[in-house]
Chain A
Amino acid sequence: MSDFNLKAATQEYATRLGDDAVVLGHRLSEWTSNGPFLEEDIALSNVALDYIGRARMYYTYAAELAGNGKTEDDFAYTRDMREYRNLLIHELPRGDFAYTMVRQLLVDVFNTYYLPELAKSADSTLAGIAQKAIKETRYHLRRSHEWTLRLGDGTEASHQRMQRALESLWGYTHELFDADPLELQLADAGIGVHNAALRPTWLAQVSAILTEATLTVPKDDWAVRGGRVGYHTENLGHLLNDMQFLHRAYPGCQW
C-alpha cells in the first residue's frame, strides 16, 4: 500500500498494545484486597502492576509518536469505549479465581511466544518494552501454570470451575492470532509480529498443560472478535466508567 504511513501505524500499534495491557491490568487490580489469601492478593496485585507498567510504556511511546502534547494519561483516561482497541479476552470480568487463573494461563502462554518476537522488532522502543516484559511473563506463567494444575487436578468443585472457565474463555482466544491489514503490514516491515504463526505452538503448550491438569481442551466451535476495531463487550464500558471516573470528573487533577 503506497499510502501506508509507518509512523502512524506504529503509533496505532503501540496504542493497541497499551490498551491490552491497561485493561487486563485493571481487571487484575480488582483482586487487590479481594484475593483468596494474603499472598495471592499480593501476587495478583504484583502482576497487575506489571501490566499497568507495560501500558504506561506503550502509551508513552504512542504519545511521543503522536507528538501533539498528549500524554499517557490522555490515552488511558480520555478515550471512549469505541476508541479502545484491546482484544476482548482482556476486558472480560474477573469472574471467580478459577476464571482469572485460566485467562492468565491462556494469555501468559501467548505472551511467552509473542514477546520474544516483538523483542526482535526493528522498532527499538517496542523491542525494549518487550525485553522487559519477557522476564515478568516468565514469573507470571510459572504461577498460572501451577494454579492450573492445582485447581484442575484438585477437588471436583475446583475442576468443574476450571473447566467451566475454560469453555467460556476459549472462544475469545482466536482473536489473539488475528491480524488486520495494519498489523500485517507492520509485521512485514519487521516492526510487528505475525500472530497467526504463533497459534500452533501456543495450542501445543496450552493443551499439554490442560491435559496435565486433567482438563479437556475445548472445541473450536465458536469465536468472538471485534476488539481491534472497537467493538467491545458491554464489560469494557463498566470498566472504563470505574477507571476513568476521577479523571473525567476532575480533569488534570493531581495530588
Chain B
Amino acid sequence: MVTKSIPVLPFAWYERAQRRKQSALTPIWEVLDQVKDPEIPVLSIWDLGVLCDLQAIDGKYVVSITPTYSGCPAMETIRADIAAALEAAQLQPYEIVTRLSPAWTTDWLSPQGREQLQAYGIAPPAGGGCAHAQGLTPEAGIECPHCSSSNTRRISEFGSTACKALFQCQDCQEPFDYFKHF
C-alpha cells in the first residue's frame, strides 16, 4: 500500500530547477514551455524532464534534450516542435542536441507536471528509488487518479506507451495508466 506522506522533492528535480532559475534566458525558456509531449499533451517537455538545458553559446541557442526511453518514438516530433516554436518566436540560430547521459529519470518530473498528469487521468510515478524494490512497478496500491482509492491492481507492466503501466481501480472499476517510476 502506498501511504500518504509529505512529498519530498527529488534532488534531481531541484538541480534542474536551479539550473533554469540561474539562467539568464527566461523568455526563451518560456517559449520552450509551449512545447508539449506529443503523447501526453498536457505536459510540457520541461515538466517531463525531456528538456535538459538551454544555453546561449557563440550567439546560438543550444537546446539539449534527452529521450525518456531508448526507443521513444516521440523524439522526432519533439525536435520538430522545438524548431517550430523557436522559429515562430524568431529565435535563431539554434541547435537542438540530444544528450544521453545522465539517463532520464522520472525524478526529473516537475511538481507541476505530476499534478497535471494526475488531472489528466494518469497516476504520477510513486516515490523515489526506495519506495519499491529497485523502483519497479508494484503489483497493487497505486492511487487511482479518478477516485483516489489505493485499492488498485496492476493489469499490465507495459501500457499504451513504454513509460506507462496499466492499472485498474477495484473501487471505481476504471482502468488507468500509471506513469512508471524509472
Interface of A toward B, CB cutoff 8 Å:
25, 39, 42-43, 46-54, 56-57, 124-125, 127-129, 131-133, 135-136, 138-139, 142-143
B94 at the interface (CB under 8 A from A): no
B140 at the interface (CB under 8 A from A): no
B3 at the interface (CB under 8 A from A): no
* Interface hits, B116-152 → A, CB 8 Å: 134, 136-137
Query: What B residues does A139 contact at CB under 8 A?
Result: 136-137, 157-158, 180
Q: How far is the CB of B62 from chain A (nearest CB, A)?
A: 18
Query: What B residues does A51 contact at CB under 8 A?
Result: 70-71
* Interface hits, B28-77 → A, CB 8 Å: 67, 69-73
B93 at the interface (CB under 8 A from A): no
Q: Are B134 and A136 in touch, CB under 8 angstroms?
A: no
B18 at the interface (CB under 8 A from A): no
- Point out the residue from B67, B104, B134, B158 that lies within 8 Å of A53, measured CB to CB: B67
Q: Are B156 and A43 in touch, CB under 8 angstroms?
A: yes
Query: What A residues does B161 contact at CB under 8 A?
Result: 46
- In the complex the two chains form, what is the Cα distance from A129 to B70 in whole Å? 8
Q: Are A53 and B69 in touch, CB under 8 angstroms?
A: yes
* Contact residues of A: prevailing secondary structure: helix
Query: What A residues does B180 contact at CB under 8 A?
Result: 139
B155 at the interface (CB under 8 A from A): yes
Q: In this complex, what residue of A is CB-closest to B180? A: A139
Q: Are B70 and A54 in touch, CB under 8 angstroms?
A: yes
- In the complex the two chains form, what is the Cα distance from A138 to B135 in whole Å? 10
Against A, the Cβ 8 Å flags (1 = close, 0 = not) of B142-181 are 0000000000000111111110001000000000000010
Q: Are B136 and A42 in touch, CB under 8 angstroms?
A: no
- In the complex the two chains form, what is the Cα distance from A43 to B160 in whole Å? 9
Q: Are A128 and B103 in touch, CB under 8 angstroms?
A: yes
Q: Which 3 A-B pairs have the closest CB atoms?
A: A53-B71, A53-B70, A128-B101
Q: Are B100 and A128 in touch, CB under 8 angstroms?
A: yes
Query: What A residues does B13 contact at CB under 8 A?
Result: none
Q: Are B70 and A127 in touch, CB under 8 angstroms?
A: no
- In the complex the two chains form, what is the Cα distance from A54 to B134 in whole Å? 22
- Point out the residue from B67, B101, B136, B159 that lies within 8 Å of A127, measured CB to CB: B101
Q: Are A138 and B134 in touch, CB under 8 angstroms?
A: yes
- In the complex the two chains form, what is the Cα distance from A56 to B69 in whole Å? 12
Q: How far is the CB of B100 from chain A (nearest CB, A)?
A: 4
Task: Please name 28 pairs of A and B residues whose Cβ atoms are closer than 8 Å in the assembled complex, sorted by A.
Answer: A39-B156, A42-B156, A42-B160, A46-B158, A46-B162, A49-B69, A49-B73, A50-B69, A50-B70, A52-B71, A53-B70, A53-B71, A56-B70, A56-B71, A57-B70, A57-B100, A124-B101, A128-B103, A129-B70, A129-B100, A131-B100, A131-B101, A131-B102, A132-B70, A132-B100, A132-B104, A139-B157, A143-B157
